[in-house]
Amino acid sequence: MADKKANSLKNLKSRTKLVHAGRAPSDQYGFVNTPIYRGSTVLFPSLDALMHRRMPFTYGTQGSPTTQSLETAWTDLCGAAGTVIVPTGLAAIAVAFLAAVKAGDHILVSDSVYRPNRNFCDTILKRMGVETTYYEPLIGAGIEALIRPNTSVIFLETPGSQTFEIQDIPAIAAVARAKNICTILDNTWATPLFFQAHAFGIDMSLEAGTKYLSGHSDLLLGLVSANESWYPALQATYDAFAMCPGPEDVFLALRGMRSLELRLHEAQRQGLAMAEWLSTRKEVIQVLHPALPACPGHEIWKRDFRGASGLFSVLLAPCSQNALAAMLDGLELFGMGYSWGGFESLVIPFDCGSYRTATAWAPPGPALRFSIGLEDVEDLKADLEAGFERMRLTP
């Protein structure tokens, strides 16, 4: 099976691991990729095997060679003790929280998190008797002042996937560890290639595989990796829900994984080129791109990250709603839609002012988030340039 190779891959570079991890052609009649294993029932050859579950796989919800391929590869890539794979990124957030909280707990969640994450805390966790305090993402070691005797989790997202604050993970993780508090990170923006969460002290790290791992906007998936201390609780919680993804989606994620490093480096190159160009435009007041100095926490990004993906935001000079619509509605290459990390460029306007509680978000004009795809950047610039011209001409 796939893990036969795991030890021999340990010392290889990530790019090599991405190509070789999680597949064993000799187990698949020589075919290069682990195929899609579909199924609920696994047949046991004897009563003894059935009673003692003496088979590598026992039932569809407990995994298959397809899911095991992705789990072992991801665990290796993350430097984790183990990984569970769930149907969406939001399910990954939910299963990680549920592995670590109980009724009566208090949790600390960054004010910058993906909005449906807040909804999970404010509804499901609240109903379970878990109280959430949202904290200023740039708080660093100051988080200690917010900790209560019943604080069980600190949730981080760095950078915040709309507003791009970079969190001081080592400082927060050190405080958490000293107080036996579980740290959970949404690492979707960087992926394990650009940020090694567990090496920086994070207990559980999650990835919306829907974004860069897929890379093709054609699947939903979530992955949670955990260190030795937290993997047993994570696995038990996952088992209790049987929250398993469909095998086709896992197969597509494995396919995406093979080219993840190439695509991510290209996203970095393209994203930076667009961010730098946008920072020269008079319509743009500020570019929130972790690799540019105007981004809050840029120095921390330089210290801790290995790269930047292709998602960033800009703050525009004040303009009318009609002018913004004229710009966005007429774009020919940028799509407007709520995801990112695919091969195609996207843009959305956003406004988190109405729901943030620990930080004020009140830029003077509209804010746009860009996911830069694989098109030629000169074509992308021309598309936006025409958009800015429409904006200028619209009252």
Ligand X SMILES: Cc1ncc(COP(=O)(O)O)c(C=O)c1O
Task: Enumerate binding residues for ligand X (CB under 6 A).
Answer: 88-90, 114, 161, 186, 188, 208, 210, 220, 222, 339
* Three-state helix/strand/coil letters over 105-161: CEEEEECCCCHHHHHHHHHHHHHCCCEEEEECCCCHHHHHHHCCCCEEEEEEECCCC
Q: Which residue has the tokens 């960054």?
A: 110
Gap between the Cα atoms of 113 and 119, Å rounded: 10
Closest approach of Cβ 210 to ligand X, in Å? 3
Residue closer to ligand X by CB (options 34, 309) is 309
Closest approach of Cβ 160 to ligand X, in Å? 8
Closest approach of Cβ 332 to ligand X, in Å? 24
Residue closer to ligand X by CB (options 253, 319) is 253
Residue closer to ligand X by CB (options 183, 188) is 188
Contact 109, 135 (CB under 8 A): yes
User: Cis (ω within 30 of 0) for the bond into 159?
Assistant: yes
Residue number with the shortest CB distance to ligand X?
89
Name the β-bridge partners of 314. Answer: 287, 368
Q: Rg for the chain (alpha carbons), in Å?
A: 22
Return the beta strands (E) in the chain as ranges: 82-86, 106-110, 131-135, 151-157, 182-186, 204-208, 222-226, 284-288, 311-316, 346-350, 367-371
Residue closer to ligand X by CB (options 153, 208) is 208
Closest approach of Cβ 157 to ligand X, in Å? 6
Residue closer to ligand X by CB (options 117, 227) is 117
Residue closer to ligand X by CB (options 132, 319) is 132
Closest approach of Cβ 112 to ligand X, in Å? 10
Closest approach of Cβ 144 to ligand X, in Å? 26
Residues 6+ apart with CB under 8 A from 259: 18, 215
Contact 134, 358 (CB under 8 A): yes
- CA-angle at 138, arms to 134 and 140, nearest 5°: 95
Query: What is each CA distance from 67 to 60, 63, 72, 350, in whole angstroms?
Result: 10, 6, 9, 35
Residue closer to ligand X by CB (options 90, 367) is 90
Contact 175, 144 (CB under 8 A): yes
Gap between the Cα atoms of 65 and 21, Å rounded: 13
Residue closer to ligand X by CB (options 156, 175) is 156
Gap between the Cα atoms of 15 and 83, Å rounded: 20
For residue 1, the Cα-to-chain-centroid distance in whole angstroms is 27
Gap between the Cα atoms of 311 and 174, Å rounded: 28
Q: Which residue has the tokens 């988190």?
A: 352
Residue closer to ligand X by CB (options 189, 334) is 189
Closest approach of Cβ 145 to ligand X, in Å? 26
Closest approach of Cβ 286 to ligand X, in Å? 21
